Amino acid sequence: SAPPSRPTFGIPPTPEEFAYGEEDLVLQAAGWGGPDSAPSRFDRVLLAGWSDRMERGLFRYRLGPLPTRVLPGALRLVAQLNEQRSAERRPPQPVRSLRDPFDPGAFNFTRLRPAELLFRLRRTGGPGPPPEPLLVAINASPLERGHVLLLPEPARRLPQVLTAPALRGALEAALLSAHPGFRVGFNGLGGGASVNHLHLHGLYLDRPLPLEEAPAEPLGPRLGLLRAGPAPAFLFFAPGPAELEPVSRAVCRAAEHLGAAGLACNVLATRGDPPAGPGTGAGRGLRVLLWARRPLFGPKAGEPFAVALCELAGLLPLPTEPLYRDITEAQALSAIRQHLLPEPELLQLGGELARLLEN
């Protein structure tokens, strides 16, 4: 008899493959000020597949243009009203600790419907060994058009702890896009992750962020402290494809150190200037930001919004119209900064990470 079309474990069948080589990496995407560059093959395939799934009703809600405003103030935080996401999204899973194991009984990505998968990323050829192939799936509760999940093989049932092979695959995905606002990110356990099954996010954010070009204070040869935006972050930089492997390893070593210290983390990769800032003669590359924070298990009473990688980067998706209309920069900063470390603790941690990464 014919084999079943789907394994009994509920693991989605393999979608079409998106094979790419080094020649597909867009080393210098169009800047924000210049004319729009043509979308890359990756952008075209991703956005066409995403729009097709939206037309077919595979998302939890239909995403139209979102009301957006820049809050008055020095940080120019971007508020966005997304009432449907807060009302329709799957409730986040309860997390009890930074080391919660994968739970096969809870929702996980082996349960995705086949049509939610767009393609599998697989690199052919150099430089170096290829990264882990990643499945690209729709995020059924999207923040923006083109919001996807980047999934290492779901059948491996890995918990939401960042690994260097998964991060490197996601960083290559960031370089496959020709859009200056395609960013990839990660929310750790206790840091806003809603599913304890290893995944990263990819999304198009149609505006520049101050953290793309602000200079960082050097902490060591490969580490800086970036104070642009609402929350200070540790900054790593990859000038080009050859540095993605060492940067991925360094970020994951640092994240592991945070976990051992009882701290949660968030990660964002964006195209940006070298750590010294623009005008240093060097071209743009990938900035990778790592935020350290106090872990939060479960919703916090009285919190106006949850704080994960978007909020730390200065983008505030807000759940209600009055909050969107009335929130001030000071109120937003208060909500974000209650999760952060006091300055002496942050600087001590920076010193520890700099020494760790020099060895």
What is the C-alpha separation between 257 and 280, in angstroms, rounded?
31
What is the C-alpha separation between 303 and 311, in angstroms, rounded?
13
The C-alpha angle 98, 100, 102, rounded to 5 degrees, equals: 135
DSSP 121: E
The C-alpha angle 169, 241, 291, rounded to 5 degrees, equals: 60
Q: Annotated active-site positions, please?
A: 199
Tell me the pairing of strands 223-226 and 233-238.
Answer: antiparallel
Positive or negative, the CA dihedral 80, 82, 85, 91 is positive
- Asked whether the beta carbons of 20 and 14 are under 8 A apart, the reply is no
What is the C-alpha separation between 352 and 116, in angstroms, rounded?
42
What is the C-alpha separation between 66 and 79, in angstroms, rounded?
10
Q: Where are the beta strands (DSSP E) in the chain?
A: 17-20, 68-70, 78-81, 117-123, 134-138, 148-151, 182-187, 200-204, 217-220, 223-226, 233-238, 264-272, 285-293, 315-318
Per-position DSSP letters for 207-233, written without gaps between them: S--GGGT---EEEETTEEEE--SSS-E
